Amino acid sequence: MKKAVVLLSGGIDSSTSLFWARSKGWKCLCLAFDYGQRHIRELRSAAAVARKAGCQLKIVKLNLPWKGSSLFGGSGRLPRPSSLKEIRSRIPSTYVPARNTIFLSIALSCAETIGANAVVIGANAVDFSGYPDCRPSYFNAFRLVARLGTKCGIKGRPAAIIAPLLKMNKAQIVRLAERLGVPVDLTWSCYAGGKKPCGKCDACLLREKGFKES
């Protein structure tokens, strides 16, 4: 059986990517990251989704002492965009410097260690907040890193870096989640990390857009 390491944040995109990988018949190991984010609530969702999928979850704790993002508590107010157009027009303060590079590097190390065939990430380059590490060109570059920077890569067997939702809009993702049986009610998207979604941050607005349009 093929194996995959799935980056699972607990949001609808990563959860849909996990269920997509399972639908391919892969045995999945989920990785979630506790890196000091204010929306630590997402880790509970990641655990719940992994249990529902029948997959093992490992939570990796990281210390990023330089912070550099409003996603860290005490690092400034979260942006409150006035429209979806505004979301697409800038790289917001919620951008965590090189976050996907850090996460993918750890996932790639894990994949090589356990002999996994793929690393799966729920990144999206259509309805997203403009992060540079969510673009197709970025993933093409990271595939080159996987090929040149790992033992299995130089032997011609690099772990595939797969972003199955990369070119889908949020409505398409929601419909795919429904088809795959994703427990959407267990997922969490809000950046604020409160008891209830704030309904005003980028993640909340994009999630709402997806459900309305689907």
> Which residues belong to the annotated binding site for ATP?
8-18
**Rounded Cα distance, 89 and 150, in Å:** 36
**Rounded Cα distance, 182 and 53, in Å:** 8
**Rounded Cα distance, 202 and 80, in Å:** 7
Q: In Å, how far from its chain's centre is CA 79?
A: 20
Structure tokens at 177: 């989640």
Do the Cβ atoms of 71 and 37 come closer than 8 Å? yes
- Binding site per annotation, positions for Zn(2+): 190, 198, 201, 204
Comparing C-alpha atoms, which of 76, 61, 75, 44 is closest to residue 195?
Answer: 44
- Binding site per annotation, positions: 8-18, 190, 198, 201, 204
